[in-house]
Amino acid sequence: MANQTQSFGGGIFIVIAIAIGTAIGAVEGQPTIGVMGGALVGIAIAIVQWLRDRKRTGE
């Protein structure tokens, strides 16, 4: 149990981005494109968070 570091999760960014993308897409009349765009943005943010966390923990 010694030397364990806490990692941060990036899944919340995916969920929030999909929700925002869906809302924007619904307003524009294209909810599917909004979901897809939100998913892409959320995944990109989650990958950046994962890379930063990996660098921080030294793995």
Per-residue confidence in pLDDT tens, the chain, 59 aa: 556 666 667 889 999 999 999 999 999 999 999 999 999 999 999 999 989 888 887 76
pLDDT of residue 4: 64
What is the end-to-end Cα distance of the chain in Å, rounded?
17
pLDDT of residue 38: 96
pLDDT of residue 37: 97
Q: Cβ contacts of residue 47 below 8 Å, gap of 6+?
A: 10
Q: Where are the domains of the chain?
A: 11-57
pLDDT of residue 3: 60
User: What is the pTM for the complete model shown?
Assistant: 0.78
In angstroms, the CA 43 to CA 20 distance is: 14
Q: Cβ contacts of residue 28 below 8 Å, gap of 6+?
A: 34
Q: Residues 37, 34, 45, 3: what is their CA dihedral angle, to the nearest 10 degrees?
A: -120
17 C-beta neighbours (distance < 10 Å), count? 21
